[in-house]
């Protein structure tokens, strides 16, 4: 199944799919539209002996096209478990960077965050370094950061609530902090959340983070544990993230998706969302616009 999703006002689609399929020995069988609104979402069922070959042809053909696409087996594409990163994925910011702004250290801390998300620094060490720089910051800055800076990314609420309404378990797993994951999980409709703990004393941050730190391997472990608890294979799971600490779970999930991701993550994901909003993940699973739960 090939799913194509373009945001409103995207440029014209200039790829001849019939010719592309024929060039790699594949054949489109049937197609249907998934979205009757301003955005364009459609899917094509195809026959192919070698999906990897079709995928490589699509990667080349889709360069410069203003749309997102996902090629996957037709069977089992509607997932029963969603594991999602929080910062810069479900929400619009990196909470630690925004918290640092209240200490006048956003530029310095954001630079470390960027290197860690690109995989240039070990996540755990980079987190400890950044938190140490915030020692003495009043804890009131946490609430101020959440209220002033944190917003759900477009489509996040519909993604989570639609999957949940259709029987999927939805879990927010973040290398960020529990103060934020609890609030974001409630706002988006996740069933549960996991995050790190900022230690505090006398109304101020101590500059330390609770151990063990939830990083790359902990996210993978969360995927495995949640799937085992549901009694489902990893093929029936979906993992979503943007940074290097998300890569292990993205690679292990049945469908691993990179959202506005760092190059190291985008290169390894099964699909990427670079243009559309997070409802693209619903289209990838075969949901139509009329199926979306938005309340």
Residues serving a catalytic function are 85, 87
Cβ(255)–Cβ(284) below 8 Å: yes
* Residue 50 and residue 25 in contact, taking contact as beta carbons nearer than 8 Å: yes
Residues written for the chain: 295
């Amino acid at each position: 199944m090939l799913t194509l999703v373009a945001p409103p006002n995207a440029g014209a689609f200039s790829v001849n799919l019939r010719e592309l399929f024929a060039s790699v020995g594949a054949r489109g069988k049937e197609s249907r539209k998934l979205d009757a609104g301003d955005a364009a979402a459609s899917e094509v069922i195809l026959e192919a002996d070698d999906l990897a070959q079709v995928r490589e042809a699509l990667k080349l053909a889709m360069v410069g096209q203003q749309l997102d696409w996902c090629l996957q087996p037709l069977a089992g594409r509607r997932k029963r478990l969603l594991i999602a990163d929080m910062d810069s994925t479900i929400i619009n910011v990196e909470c630690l960077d925004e918290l640092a702004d209240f200490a006048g250290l956003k530029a310095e801390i954001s630079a470390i965050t960027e290197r860690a998300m690109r995989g240039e620094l070990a996540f755990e060490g980079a987190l400890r370094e950044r938190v140490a720089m915030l020692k003495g910051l009043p804890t009131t800055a946490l609430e101020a950061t959440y209220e002033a800076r944190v917003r759900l990314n477009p489509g996040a609420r519909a993604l989570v609530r639609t999957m949940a309404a259709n029987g999927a378990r939805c879990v927010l797993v973040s290398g960020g902090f529990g103060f934020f994951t609890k609030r974001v999980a409630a706002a988006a409709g996740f069933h549960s959340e996991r995050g790190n703990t900022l230690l505090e004393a006398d109304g101020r941050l101590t500059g330390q983070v609770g151990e063990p730190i939830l990083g790359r391997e902990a996210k993978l472990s969360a995927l495995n544990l949640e799937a085992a608890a549901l009694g489902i294979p990893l093929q029936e799971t979906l993992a979503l993230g943007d940074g290097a600490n998300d890569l292990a779970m993205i690679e292990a999930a049945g469908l691993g998706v990179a959202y506005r991701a760092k190059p190291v993550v985008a290169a390894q994901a099964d699909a990427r969302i670079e243009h559309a909003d997070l409802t693209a993940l619903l289209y990838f699973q075969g949901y139509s616009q009329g199926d979306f739960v938005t309340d």
